[in-house]
Amino acid sequence: MYSIMREIYFIFLLKGFTVFAQVGGESVFNFLNVPTSAHQTALGGKTLTLMGDISQPIWNPAVINEEMKGQINLNYLNFIGDINYYSTSYAHYVDRRIGTFHSNLTYVDYGKFIEADEEGVETGTFKAYDMSLSVGYAYNFPKTNIYVGSNIKIIQSKIEKYSSLAAAVDIGLIYYKDDNPLSLALSVRNIGHQFIAFDEKIEKLPFEILMGASYKLENVPLKWHITIDNLQQWQIANSNPSNTITNINGKETLEKISFIDNAFRHFILGVELFPDKNFNLRMGYNFKKSKEFSLLNTRSFAGLTAGFGLKMNKIKLNYAFSKYHPVSNTHTFSLNLYLNNN
């Protein structure tokens, strides 16, 4: 079963799509929009206002700050079909004048595939992978609580002997103050160009614009997060084939998408219990994933995520559970190492 699921996912990869039904048509390097951090995943994905977490600047580089210095982050995502995501981040603090630089490496291993000729005769095996390397920096405007940041990244994809290469930039903005319960953020991701294509046809990168906010309650240990994604395109809803209705005459009627339904698919909600403690719980809900991965008359829990964080001295373990397929659960594990006394 897992092998078949991986083959199906790989076919989507070749066509420039992912199981997320990429908005805006064909594009490449869609793995850039898959969260690999357990903290991020547990909150529904694409959260933009997480300060102090070294795994978050790949979503909003404006959050890079001195608090991240000396941190190392390791992530592992066991995706559907035995596809494995690996990522690591590191923050280096130079000095008070220059500030902190952030780096991230993400690698996606699609495993081995059977190679065959035109007649269907097996000739061996081949591998496929995606990889991204980024460097980021943020700047705090003097005498303000506004930060701006940017990532520069090199992206590569390889399928057998064929490869593709691109470069992209992320730009982020955040309003954040320690004693203010409200944080606001804006992120523009994957602004770039594919320099080397698989089949000589240059394709678009998965460009997206997002807005986010978080609010920490005063007397309750809860912190709410909200993200509005894909602001570059209003119509993002697609009919789910699983919800197609067939009448007695065999005529099929596709699922109808209402204005409200499409609007809600732009929203991602997350909540953290005990956000500032050594142990915290997290939940998230992605409306778009819920609709696109749901099955008719079946409770699939698609779009719902959950997880926890546990810090012990200079080590913090994060875990997230998510569901992308009715017969497969997805687990994300993250390990944060604090090399300095934070």
Structural domains for the chain: 2-338 (2.40.160.40)
Q: How confident is the model at residue 23 (pLDDT cuts 50, 70, 90)?
A: low
Q: How confident is the model at residue 240 (pLDDT cuts 50, 70, 90)?
A: low
Whether residue 40 contacts residue 57, with contact meaning beta carbons closer than 8 Å, is answered with: no
Q: What is the DSSP string of 202-233?
A: ------EEEEEEEEE-SSSSEEEEEEE--TT-
More confident residue, 113 or 319: 319
Cβ-count burial of 301 within 10 angstroms (0-12 exposed, 13-18 middle, 19+ buried)? middle
Sign of CA dihedral 257, 261, 267, 268: negative
Rounded distance between C-alpha atoms, residue 191 and residue 152, angstroms: 10
CB atoms closer than 10 angstroms to residue 283 = 16
Which pLDDT value is given to residue 157?
93
Whether residue 266 contacts residue 230, with contact meaning beta carbons closer than 8 Å, is answered with: yes
Predicted confidence (pLDDT) per residue in 154-189, tens digit: 999 998 888 999 999 999 999 999 889 999 999 999
pTM of the full structure:
0.85
Burial 129-167 (b: 16+ CB within 10 A, else e): bbbbebebbbebeeeeebbbbbbebebbbbbeeeebebe
Predicted confidence (pLDDT) per residue in 114-147, tens digit: 887 777 778 888 889 999 999 999 999 998 999 9
* Mean pLDDT of all residues in 197-225: 92
Which two structure tokens, joined as six digits, stand for 291?
A: 């609709």
Predicted confidence (pLDDT) per residue in 86-118, tens digit: 999 999 999 888 899 999 999 999 988 888 777
Q: Rounded to 5 degrees, what are φ and ψ at 222?
A: -125, 145
Q: Is the pLDDT of residue 341 over 70?
A: no
* Stretch among 6-20, 235-249, 250-264 having the lowest mean pLDDT: 6-20
